[in-house]
Amino acid sequence: MSVPCDWIEALRWAQDREAKKTEVFLKNFQAWKLKNDGVPPIRPDYRQASHEGQLDGNPESVQREIRRVLAGGKPRQSEKWIARAFFNHYRQPSERVEIRGEVLEVLDYETPLQAPKSKSNGGIGRVDLVARGPGQRPALVELKTRRAEKVLKAIIELGVYGQILSTQEAKNVFCASFKCDAAKPYDLIVLGSEGFFNRRAPSLREAARELGICLGASVRFVEIRGLAAKDVQAATWLDRRALSLDPKPRFKPGLRLELRSLPA
């Protein structure tokens, strides 16, 4: 069984239903090297100035969502809503919302790694959350809320992102974009909703450790405790540039969350 040699093939493996293939990939990660022509060009700045915590979408879908929210509809239990709620919480902290446990300051969401207007690297995904840990340590976070998804898939996605940003030049630009310490190794974090990590294969943590060693990073699992669908609400936000109202997800006042790191 061959090991992927570029990030496109690796991400296809991540979506494969055969867990054995994915485990083979992880255990042979040292043999996998990104092709030079497969590494996206370095962006001049990784922070997205257009990100204001709003729910993106075409005008029609956004307006439908606004009408649904204003009519009292419940927000969707989706990764997009939760990611933006975390971003909005750290951008405008509320004394009525408390997040205990793991210290992660969320700085951006859905962060692209390919260069602007790059056509050759359009197949790569975006980092769900960029965060800053203690000591200005940079963190890449994959957020998972659907139990049907695989933790192994999230690990491979983080491995691909970590590999793309592993050159010193890319890391310097990335850390400068988010005011992190480029001398500190990356934290690669799978952030899962409560119960997401239940009944996972014992080899999972071993594979994550091997991947971390290969990348010179820390691969960790963090569980969100105390979050339910009703705890993510949306206020309407006026985008003065586009002259439109966008739903802006936020955590319900009085919410108490805990981000708990699972044993290595």
- The per-residue pLDDT for range 108-167, each reduced to its tens digit, is 999 988 766 655 555 567 899 999 999 999 999 999 876 656 777 788 788 888 888 888
Using CA atoms, how far apart are residues 155 and 114, in angstroms rounded to an integer?
20
CB 142 within 8 A of CB 154: yes
Measure the CA–CA gap between 57 and 127, rounded to whole angstroms.
Answer: 18
Q: Is the pLDDT of residue 243 over 50?
A: no
> Residue 94 has which token pair?
């509320």
Residue 196: per-residue pLDDT: 81
Report the pLDDT value the prediction gives residue 139, as an integer from 0 to 100: 96
Most confidently modeled range among 85-94, 170-179, 211-220: 170-179
d(CA 127, CA 120): 18
Q: Which residues contact 20 (CB under 8 A, 6 or more apart)?
A: none
The pLDDT tens digits of the residues spanning 175-220 come to 999 999 999 999 999 998 888 887 555 567 777 777 787 778 888 8
- Of 180, 185, 208, 195, the C-alpha closest to 260 is 195
Most confidently predicted of 23-27, 98-102, 171-175: 171-175
Signed CA dihedral, 180, 125, 142, 212: sign only: negative
Does the structure show a pLDDT above 70 at 27? no
Higher pLDDT, 228 or 137: 137
Q: Helices (DSSP H) in the chain: which residue ranges?
A: 7-14, 19-27, 59-70, 79-91, 151-164, 168-178, 203-215
Residue in the structure block whose two tokens are 């480029």:
182
What are the residue boundaries of the structural domains of the chain, listed by start? 7-261
CB 85 within 8 A of CB 251: yes
pLDDT of residue 128: 93
**Dihedral of the CA atoms 186, 187, 192, 198 (nearest 10)?**
120
Distance (Å, whole) CA 138 – CA 210:
20
- Our measurement of the distance from residue 128's CA atom to the centroid of its chain's CA atoms, rounded to an integer in Å, reads 2
Are 135 and 179 in contact, with CB atoms under 8 Å apart? no
Q: 36 pLDDT band (50/70/90 cuts)? A: very low
Q: Flag whether pLDDT at 221 surpasses 80.
A: yes
Query: Considering only 96-110, 205-219, 250-264, which range has the smallest mean pLDDT?
Result: 205-219
Mean of pLDDT over the chain:
75
d(CA 75, CA 13): 32
User: 119: which residues sit within 8 A by CB, 6+ positions away?
Assistant: none
The whole-number pLDDT of residue 57 equals 57
pLDDT at position 144: 86
User: Cα torsion for 60, 63, 64, 67, to the nearest 10°?
Assistant: -160
